[in-house]
Amino acid sequence: MSATWRGVFTFNKYSQITASAVRKSLKESQRLAAEKRGITALRYQVWENGKGGEQIILDPAQDSDPKANKAAV
């Protein structure tokens, strides 16, 4: 019965729950460093005719600045 969590939620949700539990158990300074590493940014690139275009970075920290968003999606 080691995989009983599979009937309740996906592996991604399981990983998220366990990572959160580990971060909460850390000391304050280590916890803050771990939370900073947990923030992710999305990066994408449009390819045409086998060549990559400009990489566009969607950073959640820059969402407050409308000029920082280069993507027209």
Q: What is the pLDDT of residues 41-65, one digit of tens each?
A: 778 888 899 888 888 877 656 554 5
Q: Torsion-angle region of residue 6: left (phi > 0), alpha (psi -120 to 50) or beta?
A: alpha
Q: Are residues 60 and 30 in the same domain?
A: no
**Residue 18, domain member (yes or no):** yes
Task: From residue 15, give the alpha-carbon distance in Å to each of 3, 32, 36, 38, 46.
Answer: 13, 19, 17, 12, 30
**Residue 50, domain member (yes or no):** yes
- The range of the structural domain enclosing residue 56 comes to 41-68
**Residue 73, domain member (yes or no):** no
| C-alpha span between 5 and 60 (Å, rounded) | 31
Name the DSSP class of 42.
E
Task: Please give the mean pLDDT across all residues of the chain.
Answer: 75
pTM of the full structure: 0.42
